[in-house]
Amino acid sequence: MVFKEEINTSLLAWYQKNKRILPWRKDKNPYHIWISEIMLQQTRIEAVIPYYERFMKRIPDVNALATINEDELLKLWEGLGYYNRARNLKKAAQIIMSEYQGVFPNTYEEIMRLPGIGEYTASAIASICFHEATPTIDGNVLRVYTRLKEDKRNIALNQTKKEIRKEISQIIPLEAGDFNEALMELGETICLPNGEPKCNMCPLSHICKAYQHQSWSKFPVKAEKRTKKELFYTVFLFYYQHQVAIRKRDDKGLLKNLWEFPNELGKMGVADVKKYLKQHQIHFSNVKKGINYKHVFTHQIWYMESYFIEVLETFDPFIWENLAKIKESYAIPSAFLPFLQEFKHKIN
Ligand code: SF4
């Protein structure tokens, strides 16, 4: 009980004094909290702010999101990655329009049923906007909690997350939204993941076991991650005068429906590329080595080697556009953005 009272009093008082001013904290509108939470998955707060503001200007509410054209939506999302998140936003908005008459559902259970919304986001919306006592469990919260208690459970296991979720449910106060945000913010700004935590500024240091024993570097305990699949690609940077070739990816699988530079699975040297071009009857005047780039996805790593290829004419099945138009109108995923950047030096 002492732990419960101490954590609530100290944490909430600290949060009221120290909370950051963020655009989605101006009100407790569930649409604003929802969009910000989805954007914040895998992306830092500072990087999300301009995306959030641009998104809200163009798509200010659920109705606008339910009806936006998918290409435009993906373009607004460009650079945030994990594009299925954007597609799910639109699907969920359509459900809110058709099944809830445009009014955001107001319980954890109902919010959880929407596509793309997991426990964490549902808890954040339900607690911040509707005061439901549901804890948000993310890496920040797990780190703070396991350090406070010197808890040795493996946080990579779902079972551990479930148990900790249950334990935090028992200490969460009436101000559930502030409590959740405070714990997350403490993890982001004070109880840091890399490097030494700022314990001397922490409102919970008086009840923190890791602080008492200076053992913070041992927590949280995380099991080894499983290895990622490694794939090698050769990327063809075709250009004809000021136009470059792009194509739309399949409508299934990783990066579906996004735009990319033509590429083939496997490694090729200059001689292999020239052979490939001849086999495919692509008339070229010049082949030069471009940059190499490694892109890390959740379950895969792509090693990409590129070649600039000046061709003598445009050809199918690609779209040929100038760089300004590509930047403005096509959603290029971050795996291919370094090549777009390279092109700028090459042909501008
Ligand atoms: S005292 Fe230090 S280790 Fe403990 S919760 Fe605060 S910042 Fe983290």
Please state, in angstroms and rounded to a whole number, the distance separating the CA atoms of residues 28 and 5. Answer: 26
39-50 per-residue burial string, b: 16 or more CB within 10 A, e: under 16 = bbbeeebeebee
Please state, in angstroms and rounded to a whole number, the distance separating the CA atoms of residues 178 and 67. Answer: 33
Q: Is 164 in the pocket of ligand 1 (CB under 6 A)?
A: no
Active-site residue, selected from the candidate residues 37, 78, 175, 321: 37
Radius of gyration for the alpha carbons in the chain, expressed in angstroms and rounded: 24
Percent of the chain whose predicted confidence (pLDDT) is above 70? 98
Residue 26 scores a pLDDT above 60: yes
Please report the atom of ligand 1 found closest to the CA of residue 197.
7
Please state, in angstroms and rounded to a whole number, the distance separating the CA atoms of residues 140 and 20. Answer: 16
Cα(173) to centroid of ligand 1, in Å?
21
Q: How far is CA 228 from CA 139, 205, 210, 266, in A?
A: 20, 38, 32, 17
pLDDT at 223: 77
Which residue out of 142, 148, 207 has the highest number of ligand 1 atoms within 8 Å of its CB and is therefore the one to mutate? 148
Q: pLDDT digits over 205-227, tens only?
A: 999 999 999 999 999 998 766 67
263-274 per-residue burial string, b: 16 or more CB within 10 A, e: under 16 = beeeebeeeebb
Please report the atom of ligand 1 found closest to the CA of residue 190.
7
Please report the atom of ligand 1 found closest to the CA of residue 205.
1
pTM tops 0.85? no
Please state, in angstroms and rounded to a whole number, the distance separating the CA atoms of residues 193 and 187. Answer: 8
Please report the atom of ligand 1 found closest to the CA of residue 198.
7
Q: How far is CA 179 from CA 104, 141, 143, 251, 271, in A?
A: 22, 11, 16, 41, 61
Reply yes or no on whether 175 is catalytic.
no
- How confident is the prediction for the chain on average, in pLDDT? 93
Is residue 85 a contact partner of residue 333, using CB atoms and an 8 Å limit?
Answer: no
pLDDT at 309: 96
Cα(347) to centroid of ligand 1, in Å?
52
Cα(143) to centroid of ligand 1, in Å?
9
Cα(302) to centroid of ligand 1, in Å?
37
Is residue 223 a contact partner of residue 156, using CB atoms and an 8 Å limit?
Answer: yes
Residue identifier of the C-alpha nearest atom 8 of ligand 1: 191
Please state, in angstroms and rounded to a whole number, the distance separating the CA atoms of residues 272 and 283. Answer: 15
pLDDT at 224: 62
Sequence ranges of the chain with CATH classification 1.10.340.30: 2-218
Regarding the domain with residue range 2-218, which homologous superfamily does it belong to in the CATH classification?
Answer: Hypothetical protein; domain 2 (1.10.340.30)
Residue 88 scores a pLDDT above 70: yes
pLDDT at 317: 93
Q: Is 124 in the pocket of ligand 1 (CB under 6 A)?
A: no
Residue type, 18: N
Residue identifier of the C-alpha nearest atom 2 of ligand 1: 199
CA 109 to mean position of chain CA atoms: 24
Cα(147) to centroid of ligand 1, in Å?
7
What's phi and psi for 143, nearest 5 deg?
-65, -50
Q: pLDDT digits over 108-120, tens only?
A: 999 999 999 999 9
pLDDT at 190: 97
Sequence ranges of the chain with CATH classification 3.90.79.10: 229-347
Please state, in angstroms and rounded to a whole number, the distance separating the CA atoms of residues 160 and 156. Answer: 8
Evaluate the CA torsion angle 314, 316, 321, 326 in order and state its sign. negative
pLDDT at 274: 95
Stated length of the chain:
348
Is residue 120 a contact partner of residue 21, using CB atoms and an 8 Å limit?
Answer: no
- Quick one: CATH architecture of 229-347? Alpha-Beta Complex (3.90)
Please state, in angstroms and rounded to a whole number, the distance separating the CA atoms of residues 88 and 107. Answer: 19
Q: How far is CA 218 from CA 138, 184, 186, in A?
A: 18, 20, 18
Please state, in angstroms and rounded to a whole number, the distance separating the CA atoms of residues 214 and 228. Answer: 34
Task: Give 185's pLDDT tier (boundaries 50, 70, 90).
Answer: very high
Q: Is 190 in the pocket of ligand 1 (CB under 6 A)?
A: yes
